[in-house]
Copies of this chain bind each other. A is one copy, B any other.
Amino acid sequence: MSKNITKRSEDYSKWYNELVVKADLAENSGVRGCMVIKPYGYAIWEKMQAELDRMFKETGHQNAYFPLFIPKSYFSKEASHVDGFAKECAVVTHYRLKTAEDGKTIEVDPEAKLEEELIVRPTSETIIWDTYRKWIESYRDLPILVNQWANVVRWEMRTRLFLRTAEFLWQEGHTAHATEKEAIAEAEQMLNVYADFAENFMAIPVVKGFKTANERFAGAVETYCIEALMQDGKALQAGTSHFLGQNFAKAFDVKFTSQEGKQEHVWATSWGVSTRLMGALIMTHSDDNGLVLPPNLAPIQVVIVPIHKTDEQLEAIREEVKKITDRFKKLNISFKFDDRTSFKPGWKFAEYELKGVPVRLAVGPKDLENGTFEVARRDTLTKETISKEGIVEYIQDLLEEIQATLFKKAFDYREAHITEVNSFDEFKEVLEGKGGFISAHWDGTTETEEKIKDLTKATIRCIPIDRVEEDGVCVLTGKPSKGRVLFAKAY
């Protein structure tokens, strides 16, 4: 096939870049760092959105929409927030173009300069908390449980499709609460929603944890995260949920009258996942033949390819296929019957393999005679011949099995790549060897964390939520530590 991609073992990074483009997921645009998400890639994102949106609504959240632009002055109100984002802001300074004096060139009209510059949102805490001030007077107005699906811009110098782009799509939840306890419970709840989604839909096992002060969101008191492990042994942060304390309420003067009649600042959370998850999905499951998609997020779960020489044969196949696709519809199994005659079956097989369709059915004249279909699994690349009686049930079970198999494979890989180390030599050896998560003692200081990063490029991915209390000594400094944290090189 002409669609060969670089092998993972040769160059993992190149494999990823080629796969994203050749499987029609996304491509670079003419705008520096901004991607085009192609229809097939967007269809996967839409499936992710639909499941997440359902989960958000089931936990009581509503969607809303806030402005794309943030006045520069808002942005500056929360000190650590502006520090965190100032270096990567796209800034709107003018509101008009005009024809230059040559009568041809189009230029920015210098007379249309904005009084105050507008920042294209890199995240929306500031504009949202400026709005919440108007919405909140009393405890009766709380909690506010709002989510937004939006595009955001963070000016990145080195970009990669899905993983790091100047513009990306995401959802950002922003909630307001009367008590600290309730806000913390919300941040934890949303972390669990993300973990549930990652594991049960994306088939990606994740570690739930806290970020260290150094890796915390700019403006947060506590950042919770889910961390996944890619096939090259590098970690990927797949979602974060922040307990913001009263930082934004104080910066934007958002108070409420409590049940006791006192004026208090509101407690906040925010939480988000982005099109970065597409990168995680691709890198967790795919192989040298192309994309591998978990059935729960595959836009096409089953593709059916007819094998025929005559129009009569195609008609007979069509009739047989219709019987099972009618039942697929009722069972909400998504399918595509690819009866295009402009492409040969072999070309189609390669195409759907590249695109990661979980199950492929092939049916030719012999199958018609025997009353069978050829069923091929994308994940294991195995084939079976199955009788048409009961094939729908067979496929229904098979889709569930593939989903479970993909999760187990990723889980086993992850488990085999969490290594406890007790010396810095061991740390470096594992990191440069098999990679993955390194579970090590750390003295709790940002200084040590930075030093380890400088020496090894590994960062603390998280302090696992379920970590065991354990007395130990820091792998670098030998100072006392109360428990292990997870280090890794990361995307």
Q: How many copies does the complex hold?
A: 2
- Check B30 against A167 for contact (C-beta < 8 Å): no
- Check A90 against B95 for contact (C-beta < 8 Å): yes
Beta-carbon nearest neighbor of A131 in chain B: B36
Instruction: Provide the residues of chain B in CB contact with A224, threshold 8 Å.
Output: none
Question: A29-B127, A106-B72, A140-B342 known; A66 and B36 CB under 8 Å?
Answer: yes
Cross-interface CB contact of A95 among B64, B72, B89, cutoff 8 Å: B89
Instruction: Provide the residues of chain B in CB contact with A349, threshold 8 Å.
Output: none
Instruction: Provide the residues of chain B in CB contact with A151, threshold 8 Å.
Output: 68, 150-151
Question: A31-B70, A131-B29 known; A87 and B97 CB under 8 Å?
Answer: yes
Beta-carbon nearest neighbor of A27 in chain B: B134
Beta-carbon nearest neighbor of A92 in chain B: B90
Interface residue total, chain A, C-beta cutoff 8 A: 63
- Within the complex, the shortest CB–CB distance from A116 to chain B, in Å, comes to 9
- Check A108 against B96 for contact (C-beta < 8 Å): no
Instruction: Provide the residues of chain B in CB contact with A82, threshold 8 Å.
Output: 97, 106
Beta-carbon nearest neighbor of A66 in chain B: B36
Hey, what's the 0/1 contact readout for A87-101 against B, CB within 8 Å counting as 1?
A: 111111111111100
Cross-interface CB contact of A39 among B35, B88, B93, B146, cutoff 8 Å: B146
Beta-carbon nearest neighbor of A72 in chain B: B106
Q: A386 contacts the other chain (Cβ, under 8 Å)? A: no
- Check B96 against A35 for contact (C-beta < 8 Å): no
Hey, what's the 0/1 contact readout for A406-420 against B, CB within 8 Å counting as 1?
A: 000000000000000
Q: A37 contacts the other chain (Cβ, under 8 Å)? A: yes
Hey, what's the 0/1 contact readout for A30-50 against B, CB within 8 Å counting as 1?
A: 110011111100110110000
Instruction: Provide the residues of chain B in CB contact with A98, threshold 8 Å.
Output: 86-87
Q: A189 contacts the other chain (Cβ, under 8 Å)? A: no
- Check A68 against B153 for contact (C-beta < 8 Å): yes
Interface-located stretch among A117-125, A211-219, A447-455: A117-125
Most chain B CB neighbours (cut-off 10 Å) among A67, A82, A93, A342: A67
- Check B130 against A30 for contact (C-beta < 8 Å): yes
Cross-interface CB contact of A63 among B36, B39, B97, B342, cutoff 8 Å: B39
Instruction: Provide the residues of chain B in CB contact with A62, threshold 8 Å.
Output: 39, 42-43
Contacts beyond the supplied A29-B66, A30-B131, A68-B167: 10 A-B pairs with Cβ under 8 Å: A29-B127, A35-B67, A37-B64, A42-B65, A75-B97, A89-B96, A89-B97, A90-B94, A91-B108, A120-B120
Q: Could you show 7 A-B contacts with beta carbons less than 8 Å apart? A: A29-B131, A37-B65, A43-B63, A68-B151, A72-B97, A108-B117, A151-B151
